Amino acid sequence: MNKPKIIAYLKPSCGWSQGVRAIMRKYDLPFEDRDIINDPLQRQEMIEKSGQMLSPCVEVNGKMLPDISGEEVEAYLLANNLVGSNDRTPDAPTNQPCAHEMPQASPLQFKR
C-alpha cells in the first residue's frame, strides 16, 4: 500500500494536534509537521488552503481536512483505504482539546 502524502498544520503542544501526531505514529505515516504558532507563513498557508482559521488542518494527497481531530483523521484514512486497520493503541489521546480549552474544575461549595 502506498503511503499518502500528508501535510499537517499543527500547534506544538495542543491536545488536538497531539492526537493527529499520535495517529501518524500509530500507522507509521510520514508527514510534514507544519508549526502554525511559531511560523506565521505556515499559519497563513493553512488559512488560505482550508478557508478557515481553526486547527489542526491536515492535507492528505491534496485534500484538505479542516479543523480535524486525530480520531477524525484516522476515520478518513480508513474509509478511503489509505491505511489498513491495526490493533495498536495510539500513544496520546486522539480527541482532546488543548489544555486551555479544557473545562476547569470548580471548587465545591457546601451549604451549612
pTM: 0.85
HEC states along the chain? CCCCCEEEEECCCCHHHHHHHHHHHHCCCCCEEEECCCCHHHHHHHHHHHCCCCCCEEEECCEEECCCCHHHHHHHHHHCCCCCCCCCCCCCCCCCCCHHHCCCCCCCCCCC
Could you name the CATH architecture of 6-85? 3-Layer(aba) Sandwich (3.40)
Bigger pLDDT: 62 vs 107: 62
Give me the pLDDT at residue 59, please: 98
- Statement: residue 103 has pLDDT above 60: no
Q: What is the pLDDT of residues 65-100, one digit of tens each?
A: 999 999 999 999 999 999 999 999 999 988 888 765
Domain ranges of the chain: 6-85
Out of 8-22, 28-42, 84-98, pick the least confident: 84-98
